[in-house]
Structure 1
Amino acid sequence: MKLSTIGLPVEESEVIIVELNILLSNYQIYYQSLRGLHWNIRGRRFFDLHIKFEELYNDSQLKIDLIAERVLTLGGRPLHTFEDYIKFNQLTVGKNISNDEKAIQLIVDSLSQLLKNERNILDKASQINDEGTNSMMSDFIVEQEKTIWMMKAWLEESL
């Protein structure tokens, strides 16, 4: 078994690189949807949601960079074209959403899909003792589970 310079099996790392690039694509779509929500939100909750959506897209931008850098650390190349992002996207694209409940539901749905991707990566990375990827995915998961809980509380739904 060939090991990389960071001590991980090369072949198995390539599988994780593919999954991280899919996650990266989904995050880019999520980020753009959040920008659209930030710009287009209307109504009495505008001020609160406008600020919240900015907070979420800034956080997503940081995560996008972390994912791309992890791909590079593992010896891969991060996807970086809109063509690739659209090709690998698994999220609903938020287009022209100005209603508060539809906006929050889009966030819940998007984060739920991102969690599926992250758990898949976590499982694969665990199998090869890729603690760097595991740690990143674990941090993302904990934060997103809490965000989903808060968004669903806002929607007055139960988990």
Structure 2
Amino acid sequence: MKNVKSNQDTLELTVKEREIEQLQILLANYQLYYQNLRNFHWNVQGNAFFQLHTKFEELYNDASEKVDEIAERILTLDGHPLGNFSDYVAISSIAEAHSNCSGNEMVEQIILAHDIIIGKVKEVIAVANENDDEGTLDMLPAYVSYLEKMNWMFKAFLKK
């Protein structure tokens, strides 16, 4: 006999399940962000090539570490992190970037991605608070301050 849940069971996730779900979305956003950074690193051209090429590499290395931390946090909470790019694309708020844009357009897309990730991190923090999850609450605030600082720097870079 199949294990069938009632409608109420499927509609009401536990706080822990909601946290895992939000962490999955954060993981998906970070994976798209990471891939976009790799794309930009490979394809940047123009007068700011050396600056942006180096900065994009710094950012994708940081994003790679964050992806691993988020996936491990999902595992720590007894979840199963998504591992297929098609799953990431389906739930991410960050779109795949094109490679045929200027360095400034790449920076603008990164700023937007940072804003999306910051918003999602704050959502995860809210649910982690409900779940009394000190591990997640300890990990995520540093993500916000780092991305806010990067946005400040990128906005300064774009000023004429």
Which TM-score applies when normalising by structure 2? 0.89
Distance 1:27 1:108 in 2: 13
Contact 1:72 1:78 in 2 (8 A): yes
Contact 1:28 1:64 in 2 (8 A): yes
Greater shift after overlay, 89-98 or 47-56?
Answer: 89-98
Alignment identity in percent?
40
One-letter code aligned to 2:155: K
Q: 2:6 aligns to what? A: none
Q: 1:76 aligns to what? A: 79
**How do 1:63-102 and structure 2 match up within 5 A?**
63-102=66-105
Q: Deviations over 1:26-83 (max 9, x none)?
A: 1110000000000000011111110110000000000000000000000100000011
> RMSD over aligned Cα, in angstroms?
1.4
Q: Which runs of 5+ in 1 are unaligned?
A: 1-9
The structure 1 residue matched to 2:156, chosen from 136, 153, 156, is 153
CA apart distance, 1:11: 2.4
SS of the residue aligned with 1:107?
helix
Distance 1:90 1:144 in 2: 16
One-letter code aligned to 1:139: A
Q: Which runs of 5+ in 2 are unaligned?
A: 1-12
Q: 2:27 aligns to what? A: 24
2:138 is the alignment partner of 1:135: yes
Which TM-score applies when normalising by structure 1? 0.89
Contact 2:89 2:95 in 1 (8 A): no
2:52 is the alignment partner of 1:49: yes
Contact 2:16 2:77 in 1 (8 A): yes
CA apart distance, 1:97: 3.7
One-letter code aligned to 2:27: L
Are residues 93 and 32 of structure 1, via their aligned partners in 2, closer, same or farther at CA, if it must alter by over 3 Å?
Answer: same
